[in-house]
């Protein structure tokens, strides 16, 4: 199933690597994170090459809901508690910097960029909302508590961030990719200090940046313990009489136009945003390889609250979830000089990708960057989520099954809704015939 993004843009294509290369920086992964990293390096005058195993933006990037915001759920009170007020403020600053960088770039890129207010709401706990607003005010940020919103739910309150944004991510990336040095259909099959062997040639690189969504090298960093993947779903709703964009003269505007971007503070809640004449309704989340609400939850909600709407689009995605809600950006391993990683965006890939590209650029240029400490991949692992991740892995490995994930041997679970084999440990997914869909696995299933 195509998302509205992949259905409405033609991405540029790039050649396959056919020879050995020597380069300053190699970027592995052609999603939004890798492309923005390449863009930052190009602007800084650093020699680089990006390689993508398939085609650019053919993975998770094409399935985002594309909210550009520094409001990542009710995160700031948690960050203050886990990291302290200074580091929580750095998180806010780098993500606000990312929002403003998109705004600046989109002035010259036709990608349906729109400024929108962003909201995190609660239908269960008003105190959580009030506490988040207090935390933000303590950092000097002008967040608002509101109780009236344009979604069909009885909320107890919401945190409002002004001047956030939304856009068409593939229109944006198609434009910036045109000037980048990219090889598609070039799969890295082995990597080590200063080299990456691909299926079509050897690349010697002084520095390597891994931007493959979930890191694919298990030798360093223990990302297989520090992260799991969460699956979520989207419906694109449209009324039968709707036109290409909102029209003040038609009655359906008030039904599907939510005038902003919304997400529930509860993991099992719903998200809302518009794109042209569509309402993008998100939710149904669950750990990859587990059972969850998927599109059934969204369809039931749409039938109740938007009975005249038709389901124009339906797609799904998945996100890497860290132990403490902050991404892992920096050196891949604790002692791997020249080997970097960008991962763990916790469902907030748009601003996290931009922020990560800025951080890694500065690391490669040996510039001072105030955000490095917070995003350090080798900060403490002593979080409760670590125990859950380890338990899931051990349970899966000890479960008898003929279907095993080639990544680390976990038992695969059959996903009846999406007709795929899914790994509950680290989120690799495979088609019914065994063809790889999502990493960290790098190979198809073998008979």
pTM of the model: 0.94
**pLDDT, the chain, mean:** 93
Mean per-residue pLDDT, 420-447: 89
pLDDT band at 446 (very low <50, low <70, confident <90, very high): confident
Q: What is the structure's pLDDT at 249?
A: 44
Which candidate, 71, 146, 88, places its Cα nearest to that of 347?
71
Query: Distance from first CA to last CA of the chain, Å, rounded?
Result: 27
Alpha carbon distance 359, 285 (integer Å): 30
- 179 token code pair: 């000037």
Q: Which residues pair with 56 in a beta bridge?
A: none
Integer angstrom CA distances of residue 54 from 15, 102, 187, 266, 343? 11, 26, 8, 35, 19
Integer-rounded Cα Rg, in Å, for the chain is 21
Q: H/E/C letters for each residue in 398-447?
A: CCCCCCECCCCCCECEEECCCCEEECCCCCCEEECCCCEEECCCCCCCCC
Residue-wise pLDDT tens digits, 370-414: 999 999 999 999 999 999 988 888 888 888 777 888 898 899 999
Mean per-residue pLDDT, 91-112: 98
Q: What is the largest CA-CA distance in the chain?
A: 62
Contact between residue 230 and residue 318 where contact means Cβ atoms under 8 Å apart = yes
Question: Does pLDDT of 321 surpass 60?
Answer: yes
Q: Which residues pair with 205 in a beta bridge?
A: 23
Helix (H, G, I), strand (E, B) or coil at 214: coil
Q: What is the structure's pLDDT at 378?
A: 96
Alpha carbon distance 385, 408 (integer Å): 19
Residue-wise pLDDT tens digits, 135-189: 999 999 999 999 999 999 999 999 999 999 999 999 999 999 999 999 999 999 9
Q: What is the structure's pLDDT at 78?
A: 96
Alpha carbon distance 238, 250 (integer Å): 13
Pick left, alpha or beta for residue 281 (phi over 0 → left; psi -120 to 50 → alpha; otherwise beta): beta
Question: Does pLDDT of 99 surpass 60?
Answer: yes
Q: List domains and CATH numbers for the chain.
A: 4-64+171-226+324-375 (3.50.50.60), 114-164+229-318 (3.30.9.10), 384-438 (2.102.10.10)
Q: Which residues pair with 108 in a beta bridge?
A: none
Residue-wise pLDDT tens digits, 327-380: 999 999 999 999 999 999 999 999 999 999 999 999 999 999 999 999 999 999
Question: Does pLDDT of 1 surpass 50?
Answer: yes
Choose the weakest-confidence range: 84-88, 126-130, 219-223: 219-223
Burial of 283 (0-12, 13-18, 19+ CB in 10 A): buried
pLDDT band at 247 (very low <50, low <70, confident <90, very high): low
Question: Does pLDDT of 248 surpass 70?
Answer: no
Question: Does pLDDT of 226 surpass 60?
Answer: yes
Residue-wise pLDDT tens digits, 251-284: 445 679 999 999 999 989 999 999 999 999 999 9
List, in sequence order, the alpha helices (H) in 250-403. 253-256, 294-305, 349-364, 372-375, 384-397
Evaluate the CA torsion angle 63, 67, 71, 74 in order and state its sign.
negative
pLDDT band at 302 (very low <50, low <70, confident <90, very high): very high
Q: What is the structure's pLDDT at 193?
A: 85
Question: Does pLDDT of 242 surpass 70?
Answer: no
């Amino acid at each position: 199933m195509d998302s509205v993004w992949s259905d409405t843009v033609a991405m540029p294509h790039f050649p396959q690597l056919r020879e050995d290369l020597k380069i300053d920086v190699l970027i592995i992964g052609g999603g939004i994170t890798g492309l923005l990293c390449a863009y930052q390096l190009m602007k800084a005058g650093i020699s680089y090459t990006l390689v993508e195993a398939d085609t650019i933006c053919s993975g998770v990037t094409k399935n985002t809901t594309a909210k550009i915001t520094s409001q990542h759920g009710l995160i700031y009170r948690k960050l203050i508690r886990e990291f302290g007020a200074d580091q929580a403020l750095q998180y806010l600053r780098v993500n606000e910097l990312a929002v403003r960088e998109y705004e600046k770039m989109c002035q010259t890129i036709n990608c349906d960029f729109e400024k929108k207010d962003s909201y995190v709401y609660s239908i269960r706990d008003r105190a959580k909302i009030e506490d988040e607003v207090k935390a933000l005010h303590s950092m000097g940020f002008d967040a608002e508590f509101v109780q009236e919103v344009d979604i069909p739910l009885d909320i107890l309150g919401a945190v409002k961030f002004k001047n956030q944004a939304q856009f068409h991510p593939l229109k944006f990336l198609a434009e910036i990719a045109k000037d980048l040095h990219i090889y598609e259909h070039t799969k890295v099959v082995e990597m080590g200090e200063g080299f990456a062997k691909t299926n079509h040639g050897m690349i010697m690189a002084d520095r390597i940046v891994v931007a493959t969504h979930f890191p694919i090298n298990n030798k360093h960093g223990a990302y297989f313990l520090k992260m799991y993947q969460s699956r979520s779903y989207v419906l694109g709703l449209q009324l039968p009489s709707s036109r290409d964009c909102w029209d003040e003269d038609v009655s359906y505007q008030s039904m599907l136009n939510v005038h902003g971007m919304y997400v529930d503070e509860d993991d099992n809640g719903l998200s809302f945003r518009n794109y042209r004449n569509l309402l993008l309704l998100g939710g149904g989340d669950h750990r990859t390889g587990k059972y969850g609400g998927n599109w059934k939850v969204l369809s039931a909600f749409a039938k109740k609250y938007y009975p005249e709407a038709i389901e124009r689009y339906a797609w799904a995605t998945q996100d890497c979830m860290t132990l403490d809600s902050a991404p892992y950006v920096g050196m891949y391993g604790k002692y791997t000089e020249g080997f970097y990683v960008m991962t763990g965006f916790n469902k907030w890939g748009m601003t996290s990708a931009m922020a990560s590209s800025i951080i890694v650029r500065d690391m490669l240029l040996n510039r001072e960057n105030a955000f490095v400490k917070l995003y350090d991949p080798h900060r403490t692992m002593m979080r409760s989520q670590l125990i859950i991740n380890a338990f899931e892995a051990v349970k899966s490995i000890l479960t008898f099954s003929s279907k095993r994930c080639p990544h680390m041997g976990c038992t695969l679970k059959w996903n009846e809704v999406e007709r795929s084999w899914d790994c509950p440990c680290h989120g690799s997914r495979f088609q019914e015939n065994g063809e790889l869909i999502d990493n960290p696995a790098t190979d198809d299933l073998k008979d």
